Structure 1
Amino acid sequence: MRARDVFFLSTDADSMGGSQRVIHTLAQGLGARGHRVTMISINPSRQPQTYVADPLYRRATLYDTPAPEAARALPWRRGRPRRSPREVAAARTRLLRLTDPVRGGYLVVASPWAAHWIADLPLEHIAKVGQYHQSYAEAVESPNLRLIKKHYAHYDKALFLCEDYATSFAGHRLANCGTMLNPVGIFPERAAPLRTPRIVSAGRLVRVKRIDLLIDAFAAAAPAVAERWELHIIGDGPLRGALEAQAWQTGFGDRIVFRGQVADVESEYLDASIVTLSSDFEGWGLVLAEGAACGLPAVASDASAGVRTLVRDGDNGMLAEPGNAASFAAALERLMSDAELRRAMGARGRERMGEYRLPRVLDRWEALFDEIDR
């Protein structure tokens, strides 16, 4: 496989999030295979995360300062310019200086808004691949569908997280739709022993993740089982204070542990026995994939086709009705009370995650590059 020039373009590559972790994992993997990879972030993050300790890829940031708060909250609102013309011109010049010397390279555009930002730049000399890390339903309910139709239709490939999404987008006259699995960056040699009565959740503490529902569901399920289970919540965010208060109000505050950010998430999965995702909306669910790779059965809200690609109800986990704490509690209680069921589901989930291992996903990316070259 010949070395290629690959650029990943993100609106904010270093913020906390599953899609950010995915693109850094891909960049590191392609760099390890000898490709010349550059991670480009349009905006610097206000709270940058370190996803790769020793990156085998270049880094570049186009703006000198983070995006204005109003632009971050509602990027599609029209109004006064969010950046001065001089700032915009300087940022776009930086991007062109990175890409102009390259012929035969590939620009992986990680979001519709990044595609919108480069729409009028002279980048015809480089192949473009658009990615969308959310669900089709989320696109329909936001400006993203319009942007995908406008920009991705002209790219060499538009990639979505599962066949269901690709088929839905193809119905909008997008002839270049395809799927690309997100890689699971962790896959320990041995699965979790599932001996610790611990449930784990990981993600930003924001409204859509519905950690409030998870807390209520745990409080409802815990008294029904003999073992003293704990719920460990990994991550941080603006709702942390309110969620901690809610946890104590349930009467189980001593068994609901807020861990904040952790350096070694793999160890957290290996010390747990159930992984959860309680979101109202979720395009995919990296926490479910990582948990399954570590041999954990899952309880997840049936929030999207992407979630259902990772959790098959009754096979490697349990699906609950989105927004329904009682449904989530019933699924938790069933797994919490049945060790044999946890072991069987965890083993099936880990086996299914084989196709998401990084080497296999990198093979798919290199095959895509070959396809574009033809």
Structure 2
Amino acid sequence: MRARNVIFLSTDGDSMGGSQRVIHTLAQGLATRGHRVRLVSINPSRQPHTYFADPLYRHATLYDTPAPEAAPRSLPWRRAKARRTPEEIATARQRLLRLTDRIDRGYLVIASPWAAHWIADLPMPHIAKVGQYHQSYAEAVDSPNLRLIKKYYAHLDKALFLCDDYAASFTNHRLANCGTMLNPVGVFPEKAAALRNPRIVSAGRLVRVKRIDLLIDAFAAAAPAVAEPWELHIIGDGPLRAALEAQAAETGLGDRIVFRGQVENVEAEYLDASIVTLSSDFEGWGLVLAEGAACGLPAVACDASAGVRTLVADGDNGVLAEPGNAGSFAAALERLMSDAELRGRMGARGRERMRAYRLPRVLDRWEALFDEIDR
């Protein structure tokens, strides 16, 4: 396999998040295989996260300051243009062109529809372009993203989605270049979790869509129904932390609902647990489910999307609950909390399902995609 030039372009590649972790994992993996990789963030992060202490890929940021804060429903490029000066925009775009001009031939992996909009009129004829979408089809329909994908991804060399169902749905919008690319699982320990510790783990940003409030209510309903003193460990941080801590205290189980904040070794957290959860109302995929399954954990998840269902097959490697329904989630939790044999069987199945998502296999798929584009 010959060495290639690969640039990952993200709106904000250095914040703490599932899509950011995927991009950094891919960049490091391809660089380990000898490819010349650069990760480019359009905006610097307000709270940058270090994904690799010694990255083998290079990094660049196009704007000097973070993106202006604005109302969440406003369109990203409109608020950026409203607050960035023409000189700032021109300088940032020239920085990207200087990076690509140094490359005779290569691949630009565009991580979001907004990033595709941002580069749409930049002259880069010598660079093959691949668009990724890290959310669900339903999320695209309910936002400006569907229009952006139809407008910009149709002209790329390839448009990649998280599962076959999403790719088929976008194909129905006359995108002829759709394909599926699995997200890699960055953890896959030699030994699976022992599943002896009565601990449930959740990981992610403490924001509204993750519905940690529902998870707390469900745990508070399920915990008294089982004999063992189960704990709920919530990994991550975010603007809702104080409110969620107050909610946990009101359940009377506050000492068994532990807010861990950011952790250095998430793999160790999975290995110390016996159930992994995802309680989101909307979720394109669910990295926490993939990582938990790779560590041998059975899952309880809201049936939020086709992407979630690719990771959790109800009754096989976990239990799916009705989105937004704390009672349904509590019943699913109680089922696994009270049955050690079931946890063991589902955990083993989940780990087996995740073998296809191991980083070497996903990197093979990326290299095969580069070959396909070159033909």
| Deviation at residue 73 of structure 1 after TM alignment | 5.9
| Deviation at residue 76 of structure 1 after TM alignment | 4.4
| Deviation at residue 101 of structure 1 after TM alignment | 2.0
Distance 1:78 1:271 in 2: 45
Which residue does 1:69 correspond to in 2?
69
CA shift in 2, pair 1:364/1:221, >3 Å: same
Kept in 1, the 8 Å contact 2:201–2:234? The answer is yes
| Deviation at residue 103 of structure 1 after TM alignment | 2.3
Distance 1:107 1:155 in 2: 10
Distance 2:50 2:364 in 1: 25
Which residue does 1:372 correspond to in 2?
373
The one-letter code of the counterpart of 2:304 is A
Which residue does 1:40 correspond to in 2?
40
Secondary structure of residue in 1 paired with 2:324 = coil
Matched, 1:110 2:111: yes
| Deviation at residue 154 of structure 1 after TM alignment | 0.3
Taking the TM superposition and a 5 Å limit, the aligned residue runs for 1:185-334 are 185-334=186-335
The one-letter code of the counterpart of 1:348 is R
CA shift in 2, pair 1:242/1:41, >3 Å: same
Kept in 1, the 8 Å contact 2:77–2:118? The answer is no
The one-letter code of the counterpart of 2:312 is V
Kept in 2, the 8 Å contact 1:76–1:143? The answer is no
Kept in 2, the 8 Å contact 1:9–1:107? The answer is yes
Distance 1:278 1:52 in 2: 28
The one-letter code of the counterpart of 2:278 is L
Kept in 2, the 8 Å contact 1:161–1:181? The answer is yes
CA RMSD across the alignment: 1.0
| Deviation at residue 52 of structure 1 after TM alignment | 1.2
Which residue does 1:339 correspond to in 2?
340
Matched, 1:24 2:24: yes
Distance 1:73 1:236 in 2: 22
Which residue does 1:145 correspond to in 2?
146
The one-letter code of the counterpart of 1:67 is A
Secondary structure of residue in 1 paired with 2:233 = strand
Kept in 1, the 8 Å contact 2:3–2:34? The answer is yes
Kept in 2, the 8 Å contact 1:71–1:82? The answer is no
Q: Which runs of 5+ in 2 are unaligned?
A: none
Cα deviation digits, residues 162-191 of structure 1 (max 9, x gap): 000000000000000000000000100000
| Deviation at residue 123 of structure 1 after TM alignment | 1.3
Distance 2:314 2:83 in 1: 45
Cα deviation digits, residues 239-283 of structure 1 (max 9, x gap): 000000000101110100000000000000000000000000000
Q: Which runs of 5+ in 1 are unaligned?
A: none
Distance 1:259 1:36 in 2: 37
Kept in 2, the 8 Å contact 1:135–1:306? The answer is yes
The one-letter code of the counterpart of 2:324 is G
Secondary structure of residue in 2 paired with 1:70 = coil
Cα deviation digits, residues 194-214 of structure 1 (max 9, x gap): 000000000000000000000
Kept in 2, the 8 Å contact 1:160–1:178? The answer is yes
CA shift in 2, pair 1:53/1:203, >3 Å: same
TM-score normalised by the chain length of structure 2: 0.98
| Deviation at residue 53 of structure 1 after TM alignment | 1.3
Distance 1:106 1:77 in 2: 24
TM-score normalised by the chain length of structure 1: 0.99
Cα deviation digits, residues 133-154 of structure 1 (max 9, x gap): 0000000000000000111000
Taking the TM superposition and a 5 Å limit, the aligned residue runs for 1:61-100 are 61-70=61-70, 74-76=74-76, 78=78, 81-100=82-101
The one-letter code of the counterpart of 2:26 is L
The one-letter code of the counterpart of 2:214 is L
Distance 1:76 1:67 in 2: 9
Kept in 1, the 8 Å contact 2:14–2:49? The answer is yes
| Deviation at residue 98 of structure 1 after TM alignment | 0.4
The one-letter code of the counterpart of 1:361 is V
| Deviation at residue 70 of structure 1 after TM alignment | 1.3
Sequence identity, in percent? 84
CA shift in 2, pair 1:71/1:110, >3 Å: farther
